[in-house]
Amino acid sequence: MRNIFNYTDRKDDIRKTGDNPEIKIDVIEKDGVTEYEPQIKIDTNRKLPTDARVLIQAYSNSGFVGIPLEYGTVASPKIINTKETDVGKDEIKFRLKIVSNDQSKKILASCYKIEPWGSVTWLKVGKRDQDSLIEYVIEPNEIPILYFKKGFGLERDLEQSNYLKNIHYNYAVREVLQTYIVKSEIFADCKVREVWIEKFKNLTKEDLPEKMDEEGKDWLDKAVAAFLDEKQQGLNGRSLIDLMPDSSMLLTEKLTFKANR
């Protein structure tokens, strides 16, 4: 049976974002095995005991819970490459706690919901064991995730095909925005929802509608179209729709089409 940290009053004491994070965790995946390597640099201004132990636990929202592992002390943190076969790099998250080096093991500082360093801040794509081929996970204060059923390589196909990317992003963006509108009370204090609202306010020049009436549906269509037509630096100044093959192509050509424009 795997242990899980017993948290009561959950709040972050340790910085996980910004220009000078105290914890950042690099994550890669090789041959189906997730590897992660924490980089730990606890602020000396916290005046934590130098021999206090640093523990990190991997987990996922889909039920995986790893064993808490020790990564040295506050004064001498260890850089250890850790392998995990039970969770993918797109699912994995982390919790950190610093405990006293005595029998009490008192929690002196903590950090929760640590995303892999460099993770996207508004929409993620992942794979996992699930019933459906495609599922969306949209929860308060969590980055929305488009999940594909593990074992079919659909997430790799999405990376390689602009054709599939347009189709799936079209539906994913629509699903998330509609959820944020219809379930606005549940997401009232959601910081991620605020990021989405700001992004699509800039794209549409309109506020997020309060309900899904006819005007709301019209806004949703406009928002999705604006997203697909947005010029992106990562696409060399092109939009997703610019990379979409036209009707003259065969399906086999569409799946691997790469625009030269």
pLDDT digits (tens, 9 = 90+) for 127-149: 888 899 999 999 998 889 899 99
250 shares its domain with 132: yes
Which tops the pLDDT comparison, 241 or 204?
204
170 shares its domain with 72: no
Q: What's the mean pLDDT in 42-69?
A: 93
Answer yes or no: is 59 within a domain: yes
CATH number at residue 46: 2.60.40
Answer yes or no: is 233 within a domain: yes
| Average pLDDT of the residues of the chain | 87
Which tops the pLDDT comparison, 1 or 63?
63
pLDDT in tens, 172-200: 999 999 999 999 999 998 888 998 999 99
Judged against a pLDDT cut of 50, whether residue 6 lies above it is answered with no
User: What does the pLDDT read at residue 5?
Assistant: 39
Pick the last residue of a domain from 83, 114, 145.
114
| Residue of 7, 141, 142, 129 lying closest to 68 (CA atoms) | 7
133 shares its domain with 219: yes
110 shares its domain with 152: no
108 shares its domain with 133: no
Answer yes or no: is 184 within a domain: yes
User: Poorest-confidence range of 82-86, 137-141, 202-206, 253-257?
Assistant: 253-257
Pick the last residue of a domain from 65, 89, 114.
114
133 shares its domain with 245: yes
Pick the last residue of a domain from 114, 146, 166.
114
For the record, the structure tokens of 169 come out as 């992003």
Judged against a pLDDT cut of 60, whether residue 9 lies above it is answered with no
Bridge partners (DSSP) of residue 94 are 58, 114
Answer yes or no: is 6 within a domain: no
Answer yes or no: is 1 within a domain: no
Answer yes or no: is 12 within a domain: no
User: What does the pLDDT read at residue 204?
Assistant: 96
178 shares its domain with 58: no
Q: What's the mean pLDDT in 1-21?
A: 60
28 shares its domain with 130: no
User: What does the pLDDT read at residue 120?
Assistant: 67
Where residue 118 falls (left for φ over 0; alpha for ψ -120 to 50; beta otherwise) is left
102 shares its domain with 130: no
Domain count, the chain: 2
89 shares its domain with 143: no
226 shares its domain with 172: yes
Let me know: does 58 contact 94? Beta carbons within 8 Å.
Answer: yes
Answer yes or no: is 13 within a domain: no
Answer yes or no: is 173 within a domain: yes
161 shares its domain with 76: no
User: What does the pLDDT read at residue 142?
Assistant: 83
**What would the DSSP string read from start to end of 176-226?**
HHHHHHHTTTTTTT-HHHHHHHHHHHHHHSSPPPSS-SHHHHHHHHHHHHH
Q: Which domain holds residue 53?
A: 23-114
Helices 162-182 and 191-204, packing angle to 10 deg? 110
